[in-house]
Amino acid sequence: MNSSSVVEQEHLPETTTGIDHRKMLMWAFLGSECMFFGSLITTYLVYEGKSLVGPYPADLFDIPVTSVSTFVLLMSSLMMVLAYNGISNGNVRRFRAWILCTAILGATFLGFQVFEFYEFAHHGLTPRTNLFGTSFFTLTGFHGAHVTVGVIWLLSLFLYSFRGNLAKDHGLNVDMAALYWHFVDVVWIIIFTVVYLIGVAGEL
């Protein structure tokens, strides 16, 4: 055994899977989240086109605006990768700059959601209006809540970087936040495709 593999082995967590228990728990949590969002998306699809009164998706959805908000979230994922790269290389300044960008873009996505919900309510769509309203607000509302939790997590890591040592355990705390953030991003891509794009295309 050469010296580098000895050093590598020293850094490996002593678990049966070879993966740190906290990271394993994060993957298990994300698995449960897949089922959660899977059930919400399925519920939306089951009730799609079954609303007895309007407004309907094609009356409300503004694809260019939602495309920009989707792009904002995609860009935030890129910033997250840069932040993780920074902490992996032990460069805390780089980490701080990019994680703050991730949080700002995440909060910008939420700003788009505030605008969208306001516009929909203004045009008479609330969770009580019809089946579309109920399933739409439940799905996108829960996703928005997940993004909110993610941004709070990212900002907490940013603030914590001034006090603690985030680079320990190969930046595991940042790694877990990144996993969660990418998951939230992927879920939005599915929601955007299934709810918005197919929703509008189906009614044309």
What is the contact surface with another protein in residues (CB under 8 A)?
A: 62, 64-65, 68-69, 71-72, 75, 79, 93-94, 97-98, 100-101, 103-105, 107-108, 110-115, 118-119, 148, 151-156, 159-160, 163
Which residue's CB is nearer to another protein, number 41 or number 167?
167
CB of 27 to another protein, least distance (A): 23
In the complex with another protein, the residue whose CB is nearer, 158 or 183, is: 158
Secondary structure string (H, E, C) spanning the chain: CCHHHHHHHHHCCCCCCCCCHHHHHHHHHHHHHHHHHHHHHHHHHHHCCCCCCCCCHHHHCCHHHHHHHHHHHHHHHHHHHHHHHHHHCCCHHHHHHHHHHHHHHHHHHHHHHHHHHHHHHHCCCCCCCCHHHHHHHHHHHHHHHHHHHHHHHHHHHHHHCCCCCCCHHHHHHHHHHHHHHHHHHHHHHHHHHHHHHHHHHHHC
Rounded Cα gap, residues 51 and 55, in angstroms? 9
Q: Smallest distance, Å, CB 86 to another protein?
A: 9
Is the CB of 41 or the CB of 166 nearer to another protein? Answer: 166
CB of 113 to another protein, least distance (A): 8
Of 44 and 137, the one with the shorter C-beta distance to another protein is: 137
**Minimum Å distance from CB 152 to another protein?**
4
44 versus 61: smaller Cβ distance to another protein: 61
Rounded Cα gap, residues 108 and 72, in angstroms: 7
User: Please, what is the minimum distance in Å from the beta carbon of residue 23 to another protein?
Assistant: 21
